[in-house]
Structure 1
Amino acid sequence: MLPSRAVTGTCLHLAVLILCFRLAAPQKGRKKVVHVSEDDSGAVVVQTAPGKVVTHRGGTIILPCRFHYDVSAHDPDEIRLKWTKLVEPMSFEDVFVAMGVERRAFGSYRGRTALQEDGSGDASLIIRNVTLQDYGRYECEVTNELEDDAGMVNLDLEGVIFPYHPRLGRYSLNFHDAQQACLEQDGILASYDQLHEAWLEGMDWCNAGWLQDGSVQYPISKPRDECGRKETPVGVRNYGYRHKDDERYDAFCFTSNLNGKVYFLKTYRKLSFPEAVQACKKNGGAVAKVGQLYAAWKIQLLDKCEAGWVGDGSIRYPIVNPRSRCGGREPGVRNLGFPNKKYKLFGVYCYRSTTSGGSKAAAKEGAGKWKPLQV
């Protein structure tokens, strides 16, 4: 899928190359047409698409990159194409390299990446089965024996931000703990851009949390005294870059499309947490993680006014259509905290992967009624 968000009719003029990007009415699946006009220069020139390319977890995306060079001066087999990903300021990891007929992918990109090679000068990279970790900024570099040039492409994911703190309580996570907590709940630490987008959509959260770049921030849509004074302007409040080992905050996590389904399991009675784990397992799944519940709420529009266990031992429920008896006037995932796992009884939200096995009977949401163990 090529980007649905693009700059229409924007022409970029370089000293040796004019590239004009045109895109029809923004629809998913539309192709971006790149028109190239070149002069007599023999320099290697690389141009990537402006803005972002957007997909979701599990999808396929093309990172667009085209280059021009003087074919009379250089053997095509001498051209090296290299894709890298920016992981920290001025720090890159290798993704894919091609030279002549040789191709090599690196790390988690093995088996998922290839060059599009749609005509000469096309260095666009195809990434299949996109993961949360693929989110970020990529560099396309083209090199011959004498010169090189590079361009950047931003890969964005459709998804949802969720604030998170563990059973230990608020402000209990250093940066590394926050990274691990997000991973355990089917997410990654969110970027500033993702948090800012969530704020534009109305996100309001009074507790500061770690972001992917090591900064600590929080979004405020409704100023109030308990969140930095009522007269302070709305926006994403920024604590700056904090000490990753010593300082402790909450986390802002990001997750994307589910490769499965979250559902509220029907049982004869309420369950303790150990019973909930067994109930979901017997039904062909597992207790849903916090990120999976958020993704189901945002993407699958799961709306259930019923409190239930989720994977971290908290009690939550997703509301798409707010009503007074379901916790307020705003949509969202309600959080009732971390009760005693052994003695408190609730329902349970289960998650079943589309790739998991199981009988046809278990593949039916909430199939039958599970009778909990007697304890």
Structure 2
Amino acid sequence: MWILRHLLVLLMHLFLGSLAQKFSNGYYYQDIVNGNGNGNGEIYFHKIRLHVESPETLVSGVQGSNATLPCHYRYEPALSAPRRTRVKWFWQPVSGEGQERDVMVAIGTRHRSYGDFKGRVRLHRSAPGDASLVINPLQSDDTGRYRCEIIDGLEDESVTVQLNFRGVVFPYHSSRGRYLMNFHEAKEACEKQDAHLATFEQLYASWEEGLDWCNAGWLMDGTAQYPVVVPREACGGTELAPGVRSYGVRDKSLDRFDAFCFISTIRGEVYFLQHHIKLNFTEAVEACQSDGARIAKVGQLYAAWRFVGLDQCDAGWLADGSVRYPITQPRMNCGTSEPGVRSLGFPPKHLKHGVYCYKVRW
């Protein structure tokens, strides 16, 4: 009798357990609402797999515009009804140093964004399973690694997408001379030129494109570095291989270097003002104003050279008191054999030159 009674109990448990299962898409799901679950109707999967993918793991954007970081999720095999999933996006610097920061979280139609991303991010939602992140507008410090995490009950999968800016890095030094700016002064100097301090990744990408500069400059991470394409004695010696040379992390208040600035957009038109006579600096400023514009900044000239292809073999005043000109097609009497923005330094302001103006597009 004792054995028979235990067999009956065992059969009853097996029968009740089978009733707690749901059948869908040819597979059984174990409902945990009334068992050990959290009351959200979540389920353990049997033979169902959650996939999270991105067709692009590297996205390039332009400061001031928008960018979409792709993230898509799906179930294999496909489910007959939509699931209640949670979407979370995180941000981390490209260097990978430091903790991830929350960007946004979304459940159904509800979402919340955090920190500097507040009010600038949303999910694309163009189709079922589309969890792509839209950032609008892009700000200068938005570059980095973004991780898209999809959470469904006890299941979670993620994918990482890197956001870079298309832009140009340019070296910059004080009008007083070389190696005279601490970190804070270098940061301010770049911002005055409509740019910001470059990151190591931006400087490295510029080195890969051929940037060769023998003077160390501050970067956003507080290091002082410089890119060398052709090793030479004046740039650390010929024994060292080409690359980005580093002085490491420096004292932001006491140490002094030049700066590497980065600009990734231009919102107006830069042009060489055709004038019947050459101008001193004061006259150059007034001439641009008379033309309904203002004298261009260094960053704006570099952006026009890189993004618009501005090519002008005429030296002109810029807002910081320097004289420069952009060349995309090298030729005789227009500087070196490489494209670039040529610099005549900071001449006395009474000398006569042309001028580059900047007119905002409305």
Category of TM-score, reference length = shorter chain: 0.7 to 0.9
Question: Are the aligned partners of 1:166 and 1:312 in contact in 2 as well (CA < 8 Å)?
Answer: no
Aligned to 2:183: 175
After superposition, give the CA deviation of every residue in 1:145-176 in whole Å (9 maximum; x if it has no partner): 65655432111222211111121322222223
Q: 1:324 to 1:85 in 2, by over 3 A?
A: same
| Equivalent residues in 2 for 1:188-207, closer than 5 Å | 188-207=196-215
Q: Which residue of 2 aligns with 1:225?
A: 233
> For structure 1, which segment, 300-309 or 146-155, has the greater mean C-alpha deviation from structure 2 after superposition?
146-155
Residue identity matched to 2:98: M
Once the two structures are superposed, residues 157-203 of structure 1 have per-residue CA deviations (whole angstroms, 9 ceiling, x without a partner) of: 22211111121322222223322222221222222232222222221
C-alpha separation in 2, matches of 1:258 and 1:279: 22
Alignment RMSD (CA, Å): 2.9
With normalisation by structure 1, the TM-score equals 0.74
Task: Give the distance between the partners of 2:168 and 2:51, measured in 1 at CA.
Answer: 37
CA distance in 2, matches of 1:177, 1:152: 35
* Aligned partners of 1:261 and 1:351 also within 8 Å: yes
Query: What are structure 1's unaligned runs of at least 5 residues?
Result: 1-38, 356-375
Task: Give, in angstroms, the shift of residue 121 of structure 1.
Answer: 2.8
The Cα shift of 1:68 comes to 5.0
* CA separation of 1:173 and 1:69: change in aligned 2, threshold 3 A: farther
> Distance between the aligned counterparts of 1:286 and 1:120, measured in 2?
49
CA distance change for structure 1 residues 327 and 122 in 2, over 3 Å: closer, same or farther? same
- 2:72 maps to 1:66: yes
* Structure 2 runs not aligned, ≥5 long: 1-44
Q: 1:40 to 1:171 in 2, by over 3 A?
A: farther
Aligned equivalent of 2:358: 351
Contact 1:133 1:188 in 2 (8 A): no
- Secondary structure (helix, strand or coil) at the match of 2:134 reads strand
CA displacement, residues 26-84 of structure 1 (integer Å, 9 cap, x when unaligned): xxxxxxxxxxxxx8467866444564112333443210123357999x9955x432323
CA gap 1:44/1:183 in 2 versus in 1, 3 angstroms: farther
TM-score, normalisation: structure 2: 0.76
Percentage of identical aligned residues: 47
Q: Rate the CA distance shift 1:307–1:135 in 2: closer, same or farther, 3 A.
A: same
Q: How does 1:84-95 map to 2 (within 5 A)?
A: 84-87=90-93, 89-95=97-103
For 1:110 and 1:282, the matched residues in 2 are separated by 41
Alignment partners' CA distance in 1, 2:143 and 2:289: 31
Letter in 2 for 1:277: V
Q: Distance in 2 between matches of 1:215 and 1:319?
A: 30
Kept in 2: contact 1:76–1:100 (CA 8 A): no
Count of aligned positions: 314
